[in-house]
């Protein structure tokens, strides 16, 4: 879901967008986005107002393929 949101928003997503789309609390959404960052799908950045913004990692496709391959093995 986060990947789809980011693709619709020029490659980035804010936690409020994830909260609205998923129904998760802000803390849960932040936690899950940080997990995706750790897996290499997103890079964490901050906008001009100091709000967290997750940007699709240049290696997001490769990270997703590696994770998928790990599940099937």
**Taking the CB of residue 63, how many other CB atoms lie within 10 A of it?**
16
* Percent of residues, the chain, with pLDDT higher than 70: 81
pLDDT at 50 over 60: yes
**Overall pTM > 0.95:** no
pLDDT average, residue stretch 38-52:
92
Higher-pLDDT residue of 53 and 73 is 53
Q: Is the pLDDT of residue 63 over 70?
A: no
How far apart CA 45 and CA 15 sit, in angstroms, is 12
């Amino acid at each position: 879901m986060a990947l789809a949101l980011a693709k619709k928003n020029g490659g980035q997503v804010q936690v409020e967008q994830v909260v609205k789309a998923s129904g998760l609390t802000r803390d849960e959404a932040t936690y899950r986005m940080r997990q995706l960052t750790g897996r290499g799908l997103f890079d964490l950045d901050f906008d001009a107002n100091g709000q967290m913004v997750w940007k699709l990692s240049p290696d997001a496709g490769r990270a997703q393929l590696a994770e998928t391959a790990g599940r099937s093995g």
